[in-house]
Structure 1
Amino acid sequence: MLAELLPAQVFALLLIFTRMGTALMLMPGFGESYISMRIRLLLALLVSLVIHPAIAPSLPALPASPTGLLLLVFGEAFIGLFLGSVARILMAALSIGGMIIATVTGLANALTNDPTAAQQGSIAGSFLSTLALLIIIVLDLHHLLLRGVIDSYQLFVPGQPLLAGDMSLMISRVVSKAFLLGFQIASPFVAIGLIFNLGLGLLSRLMPQMQVFFIAIPLQILIGLAVLMIALPAVMGWFMTGFQEVTLPFVGPR
């Protein structure tokens, strides 16, 4: 009896770990490059062990052929990558908005390492991404991400054909929303920057002898920082609203 039960339980744990592990590799707060790969894998294994009793009864039986096993594992990995990519793509909105903000405020050449993107980025984008990640953890929205992966078994049933059309549509909508959200985040800075540049142009016409260039650069940065301080609550509110709109469809009713 035990010899028959053990392979089935190990197989169920493998399927759960495959989906959970690939999702955590990309999810904000879990899949950051500065978090050790071993820690991420251990976390995915622990979560898989916790949810195993609840998920295992809904999983298909152990396939008789290696091909069937590989297809199931690859399917679960693909679903996990899809779930992790949805949240990660939305985080790119902060990098897009931050780059526009840096360009408008004269900080386009001031690059720094963006820990959430694992590459160089603008100072504004790195600041917004780090702050958003902090807010996600403080508000327990990272639990919402985990719950979305767990509840995804009701939407993406293991062993069933993948909803490729719906998944492609979802990815395209998230990419579109990320660009729209990035421009929305940068909109106050673009408006103030336009007014500032028009004022400088008018000032240079009225007072040609004034060295507008030497006044404009520090004043542009100062105004940009002031606008950032004022608009930061609204900017984070826009992002958190978009974040919940993207993640909530994967969370089942309670």
Structure 2
Amino acid sequence: MMTLADVQPMLFGFMLVFARIGAALMLMPAIGEATMPATVRLALGLLLSVAAYGVVGGRLPPEPAQAMALVPLVGGEVLTGLMIGGLARAMMAALSVAGNIIGMQSGLSFAMNYDPAMGQQSAIIGNFMTLVATASIFVTDLHHLLIAAMVGSYTTMPPGMLAATGDVAQVGVQIVAQAFLLGVQIGAPFLVYGMVFNVGLGMLNRLMPTLQVFFVALPMQVISTFLLFALVLPLAIAWYLSHFQDQMQRLVP
């Protein structure tokens, strides 16, 4: 028969694991969206915590004798989980940047919609790309890297020990910079297209000053942008998934 003294260390260890895993899931792409029901996120966090506890249970610190010592211990676990989830979500900013670039070049930048990945208004094209990339992450099983990063963090950042803030900040800056660069690279074909299209409109306006260029050009600009977008989207998502995998592997020890 198991007594309370036998169960209490297990409950303490599970609480520590759930503090890190649950905090990371709050910011993970797709899982941590505001549109995801809280009960689903809670159930997923509990299931992952149970599975992770069987792997990292032997690396957890013993239960402190004083209750106040739990505050910095649990707080450190929550901060570590938020850091892992925040770095994963930072890569989603690349699609928002690319969507805004495409929206400006297509003349649809005024068509704004709520982007669940960024938690703010974004160009509707960027919102669409975010949804496609999120679905592709789960289809290609890249979400396993996110789970591996959460479990592997117990090796690089053991519970009860302060993480190397300098290294964490450096990785975070590199991931954010890579996300912005990737967004500009995905939108580069549309930047070239926009420049050529606007130069052509300028020449047409010089040749025919009486022509209402805006009313003629806007439908052509929207249609041609959608055609280019249909050609570029599969390659852009594949390229994004490749970079997402490379950046997330940096979090896996």
TM > 0.5: yes
Q: Could you tell me the TM-score, scaled by structure 2's length?
A: 0.96
Q: Report the counterpart of residue 75 of structure 1 in structure 2.
A: 76
1:75 touches 1:162 (CA, 8 Å); kept in 2? Answer: no
Take 1:3 and 1:33, find their aligned partners in 2: how far apart are those partners? 38
Q: CA deviation at 1:100?
A: 1.3
Show structure 1 runs of 5+ residues with no match. none
Q: CA deviation at 1:238?
A: 2.2
Q: CA deviation at 1:4?
A: 2.4
Q: Report the counterpart of residue 169 of structure 1 in structure 2.
A: 170
Take 1:87 and 1:48, find their aligned partners in 2: how far apart are those partners? 19
Q: SS at 1:120's partner residue? A: strand
Deviations 1:65-87 (A, max 9, x none): 22321111011101100000011
Q: CA deviation at 1:5?
A: 2.1
Q: Report the counterpart of residue 154 of structure 1 in structure 2.
A: 155
Q: Report the counterpart of residue 21 of structure 2 in structure 1.
A: 20
Greater mean alpha carbon deviation, residues 234-243 or residues 1-10? 1-10
Q: Could you tell me the TM-score, scaled by structure 1's length?
A: 0.95
Q: Report the counterpart of residue 189 of structure 1 in structure 2.
A: 190
Take 1:3 and 1:175, find their aligned partners in 2: how far apart are those partners? 47
Paired residues for 1:23-172 under 5 Å = 23-172=24-173
2:89 touches 2:117 (CA, 8 Å); kept in 1? Answer: no
Take 1:51 and 1:213, find their aligned partners in 2: how far apart are those partners? 59
Q: Report the counterpart of residue 229 of structure 1 in structure 2.
A: 230
Q: SS at 1:77's partner residue? A: helix
Take 1:179 and 1:48, find their aligned partners in 2: how far apart are those partners? 33
Q: Say whether 1:219 aligns with 2:216.
A: no
Q: CA deviation at 1:3?
A: 3.0
Q: Report the counterpart of residue 245 of structure 2 in structure 1.
A: 244
CA RMSD in angstroms, aligned pairs only: 1.3
Amino acid at match of 1:27: M
Deviations 1:203-239 (A, max 9, x none): 1112222221111111111111111011112211221
Q: SS at 2:250's partner residue? A: helix
Q: CA deviation at 1:245?
A: 1.5
Q: SS at 1:250's partner residue? A: coil
Greater mean alpha carbon deviation, residues 208-217 or residues 132-141? 208-217
| Alignment CA distance shift 1:119-1:161 (3 Å) | closer
Q: CA deviation at 1:2?
A: 2.8
Q: CA deviation at 1:6?
A: 1.4
Q: Report the counterpart of residue 9 of structure 2 in structure 1.
A: 8
Q: CA deviation at 1:250?
A: 2.1
Q: SS at 2:27's partner residue? A: coil
1:29 touches 1:137 (CA, 8 Å); kept in 2? Answer: no
Show structure 2 runs of 5+ residues with no match. none
Q: CA deviation at 1:42?
A: 1.4
Amino acid at match of 1:241: S
Q: CA deviation at 1:111?
A: 1.2
Q: SS at 2:122's partner residue? A: strand
Take 2:68 and 2:153, find their aligned partners in 1: how far apart are those partners? 24
Deviations 1:112-154 (A, max 9, x none): 2223333322111111000000100111111221111111111
Aligned length: 252
Q: CA deviation at 1:64?
A: 1.3
Take 1:249 and 1:171, find their aligned partners in 2: how far apart are those partners? 11
Take 2:208 and 2:52, find their aligned partners in 1: how far apart are those partners? 71
Take 1:64 and 1:81, find their aligned partners in 2: how far apart are those partners? 27
Take 1:199 and 1:240, find their aligned partners in 2: how far apart are those partners? 35
Greater mean alpha carbon deviation, residues 178-187 or residues 74-83? 178-187
Q: SS at 1:32's partner residue? A: coil
Take 2:89 and 2:51, find their aligned partners in 1: how far apart are those partners? 25
